[in-house]
Structure 1
Amino acid sequence: MTMRAHVSTPGRAHHSEGSHVIHRALPEEVPVALVFNGTTQAVMMATPADLADFAHGFALTEGIVTDLAQVEEFEIVEHANGIEARFWLNDDCAKALEKRRRTMAGPVGCGLCGIDSLDQALRSVPRVTSDLRLCVQDVAHATEALRDHQRLHDLTRATHAAGFLLPGSAVMPTREDVGRHNALDKLIGTLVQTGIDPGRGAAVMTSRLSVELVQKCAFAGIPILIAVSAPTGAAVRLAEQAGITLAAFARGGGFELYSHPNRIHDEAADVA
């Protein structure tokens, strides 16, 4: 039986005027094992939806693969206590399993659980080069546009979302999960599987901006990262090194830029 992304759960609500029985939709989370050539590389707690996107995005942003052509076979296998996302990689790519070994079993929201060394936590990332430019208004309203695509959040009020903002497009591919980094992996996975160049747009997040989100964008080649909340200092430093534009506190018609501001232009100033 296919696991659902949300479940209706009974409870009792208490207010100043009294209490009553409720049934609330809550987001589901299950253990998802990322298995490469028979070896479990990571176990993540994730929302059981768009798992092929999640698995392919994870494989790319963790540096296990650099191209989907390296994946010879893939399947999703459900078990009573969780789900396996099974990859079979070509021989050359399989060597990466020995160089970067991760066995993660931790709470959602922590994208670095179980890394074997401190060096791997702040590993070097490729530098993103892109001529993408966005206007101020697109960035200022990006999180509001993302809000229109958060179907699971509408039901549960308890999930993060990652969307992809393409200049001049009303369409924003979006993925949701209880973990912010899982949502971004799902988004990157759907981009590469559908042939959308990650360098053509910006990632838009409902969360704070942390190091692992910048790392994932760097490996995917996403040049602009926009979020509703604050960045960490380490995320800003890494974004500067990686050539990624960070736009934070993007809400209420405004935002703050912390790295590579040249990709964001003011239409009025350009016209003048």
Structure 2
Amino acid sequence: MMNPIHTQIVHTFSGSLKPETDVLAEEIPIALVYNGISHVVLMATPQDLAELALGFSLTEGILTDVSQLYDLQIESDCQGISVQMEISSARFVALKERRRSMTGRTGCGLCGIDSLTAALPDIQALERTDKISNQHITQAVSELRHHQALREQTGSLHGAAWVVDGQIQAAFEDIGRHNALDKLLGYLSKNQIDKQNGFIVVSSRASYEMVAKAATLGVGCVVAVSAATALAVRVAEQANMTLIGFAKPQQFVVYSGVEYIE
């Protein structure tokens, strides 16, 4: 686990000034390099970077299967960290073709895609037989904070967790909500975990990008502690996904896929 940064601050309360020590989350540039070519630089929390790189590669369509990633090495220098990946020649050719139509990268979200067709791709409807317990949803939301150690220390990190039968099986943190989700999705894919046998809880809102990333990899349900956007709901409906927002220990809002909740 990454060690947080300690810094001296001045705390103001009722007009008085008091020197204190505070804890800050680390945020550094992470370059994702494919077959020797740097493709994108993400600002991220420097932990679980192999999962981040794999999850990003899959959710962005750079890879369509884990088997297309042949090797991954993490290298550090004074400026940041690079994740060096060797991918199949076919996927590298597709990546180079994609780069010709891109204007830049933002480090998260839609990542500089300049085509509306590319930004809003068709997402296939999931074939689902799963059912999600109402109790398991509220139980997982109650336990999420216990799996966010860095957030407890710093107050500034997002979390994404995988839940099976109400129990959090894996959780990842990052300064960026997209990064936290990519880390989780990378972990699930690397370990060949059945994405229909559980659901995801995120400590953020449910934006289009978050829902699209989960749907692209076949996740049937996303639970967010904050609201969903209108586009996120439309994508969830298109994907036959259960999308839940404003999740609290005893209540939540169902935007789509209510028929899968029992």
Alpha-carbon offset, residue 252 of structure 1: 4.1
Contact persistence 1:161–1:177 (CA under 8 A): yes
Letter in 2 for 1:104: R
Q: How many residue pairs end up in the alignment?
A: 259
Q: For residues 105 and 80 of structure 1, what CA distance do their matches in structure 2 show?
A: 22
> Which residue of the partner structure matches residue 248 of structure 1?
245
Alpha-carbon offset, residue 199 of structure 1: 2.2
The within-5 A match list for 1:219-258 is: 219-258=216-255
Segments of 5+ residues of structure 2 without an aligned counterpart are none
Segments of 5+ residues of structure 1 without an aligned counterpart are 266-272
Q: Is 1:194 matched with 2:191?
A: yes
Residue 94 (structure 1) aligned to one of 76, 92, 95: 92
Contact persistence 1:245–1:258 (CA under 8 A): yes
Change (3 A) 1:105 1:81: farther
Letter in 2 for 1:87: M
> Which residue of the partner structure matches residue 129 of structure 2?
131
Contact persistence 1:5–1:47 (CA under 8 A): no
Q: Is 1:172 matched with 2:169?
A: yes
Give the 4+ runs in structure 1 shifted more than 4 A: none
> Which residue of the partner structure matches residue 48 of structure 2?
50
Contact persistence 1:25–1:156 (CA under 8 A): yes
Q: For residues 6 and 129 of structure 1, what CA distance do their matches in structure 2 show?
A: 42
- The 3-state SS of whatever aligns with 1:172 is strand
- The 3-state SS of whatever aligns with 2:169 is coil
Residue 77 (structure 1) aligned to one of 75, 78, 82: 75
> Which residue of the partner structure matches residue 270 of structure 1?
none
Alpha-carbon offset, residue 126 of structure 1: 3.1
> Which residue of the partner structure matches residue 268 of structure 1?
none
Residue 157 (structure 2) aligned to one of 140, 147, 159: 159
Contact persistence 2:124–2:238 (CA under 8 A): no
> Which residue of the partner structure matches residue 257 of structure 2?
260
> Which residue of the partner structure matches residue 31 of structure 1?
29
- The 3-state SS of whatever aligns with 1:60 is helix
Change (3 A) 1:5 1:203: farther
| CA deviation string 1:126-157 (max 9, x = no partner) | 33222221111112332212111111101101
Residue 207 (structure 2) aligned to one of 190, 205, 210: 210
Q: For residues 206 and 99 of structure 1, what CA distance do their matches in structure 2 show?
A: 35
> Which residue of the partner structure matches residue 104 of structure 1?
105
Give the TM-score taking structure 1 as reference length.
0.90
**Cα RMSD (Å):** 1.7
| CA deviation string 1:169-209 (max 9, x = no partner) | x3430000011010000001111222322221111010000
Letter in 2 for 1:71: L
Identity %: 41
Letter in 2 for 1:232: T
Letter in 2 for 1:239: A
Alpha-carbon offset, residue 5 of structure 1: 5.0
Q: For residues 179 and 124 of structure 2, what CA distance do their matches in structure 1 show?
A: 21
Q: For residues 88 and 161 of structure 1, what CA distance do their matches in structure 2 show?
A: 28
